[in-house]
Amino acid sequence: MKSAIVILAGLCAATVQAATPADLLTGYHTAAAQQTAGFQPSAQRGAAFHTRNFGVSAKLASCASCHTDNPAQAGRHVVTDKPIKPLAPAANAERLTDPAKVEKWFKRNCTEVVGRECSAAEKADYIAYVTGGR
């Protein structure tokens, strides 16, 4: 009985943490609009960001280095050779549902590929791109 209560509490906590890609996009959009009046997320800018060679690392030149040019396809990490599930929520329902994970991976990947943390505007554009939005 006690373990059932612990499991139930854990499930409730997980539900509270759950988000949708639209929720995350709205949050980054709001943050970016506070920094730049009139900001609107752009899937086109997100696509350009995804394939841009930032020149920080020869192996990790762009997001597409590991995630492929198509966010609906599985990728493979160019250094570790580990498989990576698709970025697009349409191809991977788990994507963009945990705000803490999203922030963790944006921080790690932006630092490695871009050479700095990504801005709220870049995150909004990127999510717009991988969700096929705006």
Average pLDDT over residues 60-87: 95
pLDDT at position 96 is 94
How distant is the alpha carbon of residue 33 from its chain centre?
Answer: 19
Choose between 104 and 2: higher pLDDT. 104
Instruction: Give me the domains of the chain, ranges plus CATH numbers.
Output: 19-130 (1.10.760.10)
Question: Nearest to residue 61, comparing CAs of 73, 49, 70?
Answer: 49
106 within 8 A of 64, measured Cβ to Cβ: no
Average pLDDT over residues 84-98: 95
State percent of the chain over pLDDT 90.
Answer: 81
| Joined tokens for residue 11 | 């499930």
The whole-model pTM stands at 0.84
How distant is the alpha carbon of residue 100 from its chain centre?
Answer: 11
| Joined tokens for residue 74 | 């599985």
Reported confidence tier of residue 118, pLDDT bands at 50, 70, 90: very high
- On the question of pLDDT at 74 being above 50, the answer is yes
State percent of the chain over pLDDT 70.
Answer: 85
Q: How far apart are CA 83 and CA 102, in angstroms?
A: 18
Average pLDDT, the chain: 88
pLDDT at position 133 is 67
Q: How far apart are CA 73 and CA 70, in angstroms?
A: 6
